[in-house]
Structure 1
């Protein structure tokens, strides 16, 4: 996936300016910056949620801007995953049903989808919670369910917007480690938006954003 010369405006106000970024299979890319810097806006451009004003986002050889709504929705459903700051679980579903949701939306049989979800929940250490509702689990557990949902269909890319921002430091560290280890093990790339430099330090590549301008950071040799 890559973004080439991407601009985004809200009315007359530039939110993203001439952004260039690329990521490969299994790579974790962090985008840091202050609130309002444009990092979340760029993430939603990469995910095809926000249409770019100029430039293009390419995924698997295709420009997202050239795709129709149905094609774009199909890619987001089958090839992308999403993790948000507060999990955004569906309260009427069990933990296992929430985790299985991408597979069910793709038409997979319920029994197969739940079995796959149970396996991922197990890898995240919360298989014993599968029958609970979101209101019956802790914040850290809820975010693990959100990670399971994002990865259960083995997407090409997961877009994570402040995925540990609502957690205490101990839970944040544990959830982030489990998330990134699982993503890397199945070859899923991660775009990780965060204001936390400790979270960003776990990425393979790191960018900063200020006033809509994206800058790559060069790691020092160790």
Structure 2
């Protein structure tokens, strides 16, 4: 394996009943790389994303993280991998309404067993980098959509994961907020050497990626990769 390669898919297939959703997908993602997957609704791009993250089991083929096949991991190991080495950003943030912004951000560290004070300090540092330090004690209902999505980015990156999986991370935002959130997300991820795999319908978002894949009827194709 290339030492810079962190995630790969080899001949990945997924079906819902008799209906194929992903057909023989091939993909590699390097450390610190941003890979975008675009395609029409129903093309299979989100299904592939969740296969790569170990959320959906593949019917055929193999997903490897740092050289190890996810199929070799039991449920407990997969849960630990998603909790400790992966981060997730969803279209609508999915923040817990009963927790403060600071507590939401610190959640991955708390789930990994880090002490509260240490976790909150790390959360404060990331929130500060995203311009959210003044919102630490507010609840999700007390912040805007753009701010909420920035918090989701902070939560995904606070534990310095190897890969962040993002499903339409700016899809719920207007164009100005979407551009700002994407700028901050990708800048922070790249500064930490975190790879990003994102699904988007937005060509402007995909244009910011190092590698652009397209998906149609479950078939994945790589359009471009920047030279190292």
| Aligned match of 1:198 | 204
Candidates 38, 61, 72, aligned match of 1:66: 72
| Aligned match of 1:5 | 11
Aligned equivalents of 2:64 and 2:226: distance in 1?
A: 29
SS of the aligned residue for 1:165 comes to: coil
Aligned equivalents of 2:85 and 2:72: distance in 1?
A: 17
Does 1:168 pair with 2:169? no
- Structure 1, unaligned runs of 5 or more: none
| Aligned match of 2:133 | 127
SS of the aligned residue for 1:52 comes to: coil
- In the TM superposition, residue 218 of structure 1 has moved relative to its aligned partner by 2.8
| Aligned match of 2:87 | 81
- Structure 2, unaligned runs of 5 or more: 1-6
Does 1:145 pair with 2:145? no
Per-residue deviation, residues 48-107 of structure 1 (Å, max 9, x unmatched): 000000000000121001110000100000000000000000000000000000000000
Aligned equivalents of 1:195 and 1:189: distance in 2?
A: 20
Aligned equivalents of 1:45 and 1:79: distance in 2?
A: 15
Q: Normalised by the size of structure 1, how large is the TM-score?
A: 0.98
Does 1:24 pair with 2:55? no
Does 1:51 pair with 2:25? no
Per-residue deviation, residues 94-137 of structure 1 (Å, max 9, x unmatched): 00000000000000000100000000000000110000000000
C-alpha contact (below 8 Å) 2:29/2:195 kept by paired residues:
yes
Aligned equivalents of 1:169 and 1:44: distance in 2?
A: 26
- In the TM superposition, residue 220 of structure 1 has moved relative to its aligned partner by 9.3
1:109–1:18 Cα change, 3 Å: same
Aligned equivalents of 2:135 and 2:73: distance in 1?
A: 39
- In the TM superposition, residue 177 of structure 1 has moved relative to its aligned partner by 0.4
Q: Normalised by the size of structure 2, how large is the TM-score?
A: 0.96
Does 1:14 pair with 2:20? yes
| Count of residue pairs brought into register by the alignment | 221
